[in-house]
Amino acid sequence: MGIKVVKFGGSSLADAEHFRRVADIVKADPKRRFVVASAPGKRCSADTKVTDMLYRCYDMVHNREDITEYYAQIAERYNSIIRDLELDFDISGELEYIRNAILHHSGRDFAASRGEYLNSLILAKFLHYDFIDAESVIFFRDNGLYDEERTNREMRMELQKHERAVIPGFYGVMPNGTIKTFSRGGSDITGSIVAQAADAELYENWTDVSGFLMADPRIVDDPAPIQSITYRELRELSYMGASVLHEEAIFPVRNAGIPINIRNTNEPTADGTMIVASTAEYDSKRIITGIAGKKGFSVITIEKDMMNAEIGFGRRVLDVLEDHDISFEHLPSGVDTMSVIVSSAHLEGRRERVIATINKRVRPDSIMIEDGLALLAVVGRGMVKAKGTAARVFNAISKADVNIRMIDQGSSELNIIIGVEEHDLEKAQRAIYAEFVK
Ligand code: ASP
């Protein structure tokens, strides 16, 4: 029988009611043998995630504030779950130990990691699954980077000893024994690592939305869900701001050829979105898979007669950006002009110096920086085959009376990136969606 690794996010484990839903989901499929849990998330929009509460406790100790009352609220989050589930389980010793550790200046990561640690202890008890502490199976190197080789080796050995287990997400251990976390949202990464080590047939990532949508629901009314998406399409869309899954979570499973299924704990019958390496089995009927957009870009436009004959011109311009620690997004160019698109935030405080250095190094005829650009990505593996897609995209935008300031089509034909004025971004997204979907 194959194995499915299932990860539940904080909103899926925020209270006893959600724990029950999670148990129903896990028990509904015997393949769901390894479960990765987040810390309790928000129960309503005004609520605070336990992870944020733990960070706050750590900061309070640092500022010599009394944490007694605040820590009691954290303890109550867990105790109320245990009570409501009618579990015969006492975690008061654990809570006391953690409180003391925080008071005695345990690390910030240690404090934050206890959110998933405690939640996983409770979930393991509730499911009658074993508990595997992430600190015995997830390893970081001295330089703070994740140690894939050691983790994979030791996690594999450990998993073989358990028929079914719960593993806390988000953290692992440094060579000196201290706890280290991944970046925020890192339980997604833990799930992916466990799926790789378990040679899982599927990594199910359960959250509070039914997968990815073709467009941002704040912009497009009721956008259609994406049934299947390739890792590469996902990278393109996530980069432009569509976020459901931690960016780094795709690598362990992608390398092992394991698909990820994004599912909704509150709507378990929905299929969600399948994230796959190749779409041979998951062919899309749609030409485009998704649309995403992001504001806050600037264009540096450089002109110089006979630029195209000057070997090394582009490299020298990019060297200047590199020297100022600025990465570039796109490089649309003409015969005698070169434009570099960068994030406006990266230019902050360095504008004058960047212009002066480019002037010195390549002696252009003119150079200027314009702000207020938004980038819009139209992504779809179906675009390679469908003739006239670009024409339809541009037509839709022009009919919406939006001026296009830049066009860049990736050579893989997986995406078309369009630069528009920031105030036109929403209009352009709606126009493209209407053209292709509705
Ligand atoms: N609890 C952690 C956070 O809030 C990690 C996670 O939920 O994935 O960032």
* 185 Cβ below 6 A of ligand 1: yes
Q: What angle do CA 82, 83, 86 make, to 5 degrees?
A: 90
> Beta-carbon neighbour count of residue 395 at 10 Å?
14
Are 371 and 407 in contact by the 8 Å Cβ rule? The answer is no
Considering the four listed CATH numbers 3.40.190.10, 3.40.50.300, 3.40.1160.10, 3.40.50.1820, the one that applies to the domain covering 4-276 is 3.40.1160.10
Measured distance CA(170)–CA(194) in Å, rounded: 12
The alpha carbon of 109 and the centre of ligand 1 are apart by a number of angstroms equal to: 12
pLDDT tens track for 261-291? 999 999 999 999 999 987 665 556 788 999 9
At how many degrees (to 10) do helices 68-84 and 92-103 cross?
160
The alpha carbon of 188 and the centre of ligand 1 are apart by a number of angstroms equal to: 8
The alpha carbon of 103 and the centre of ligand 1 are apart by a number of angstroms equal to: 22
Are 387 and 307 in contact by the 8 Å Cβ rule? The answer is no
Ligand 1 pocket test: which of 13, 49, 208, 243 has the largest number of ligand atoms within 8 Å of its C-beta? 49
Quick one: which atom of ligand 1 is closest to the CA of 9?
7
Quick one: which atom of ligand 1 is closest to the CA of 186?
8
* 380 Cβ below 6 A of ligand 1: no
Exposed, middle or buried, 386 (CB in 10 Å: 0-12/13-18/19+)? Answer: middle
pLDDT tens track for 74-129? 999 999 999 999 999 999 999 999 999 999 988 999 999 999 999 999 999 999 99
Long-range CB contacts (within 8 A, 24+) of 137-145: 137/167, 137/172, 137/197, 138/171, 138/172, 138/173, 138/190, 138/193, 139/172, 139/173, 139/175, 140/172, 140/173, 140/174, 140/175, 140/180, 141/175, 142/174, 142/175, 144/174, 144/180
Are 391 and 350 in contact by the 8 Å Cβ rule? The answer is no
pLDDT tens track for 180-210? 999 999 999 999 999 999 999 999 999 998 8
pLDDT tens track for 365-422? 999 999 999 999 999 887 877 888 889 999 999 999 999 998 888 767 788 999 999 9
Helix (H) or strand (E) holding 313: helix 313-323
**What CATH number labels 290-436?**
3.30.2130.10
Q: 21 is written with which tokens?
A: 């839903």
The alpha carbon of 120 and the centre of ligand 1 are apart by a number of angstroms equal to: 13
The alpha carbon of 171 and the centre of ligand 1 are apart by a number of angstroms equal to: 10
Domain spans, the chain: 4-276, 290-436
* 186 Cβ below 6 A of ligand 1: yes
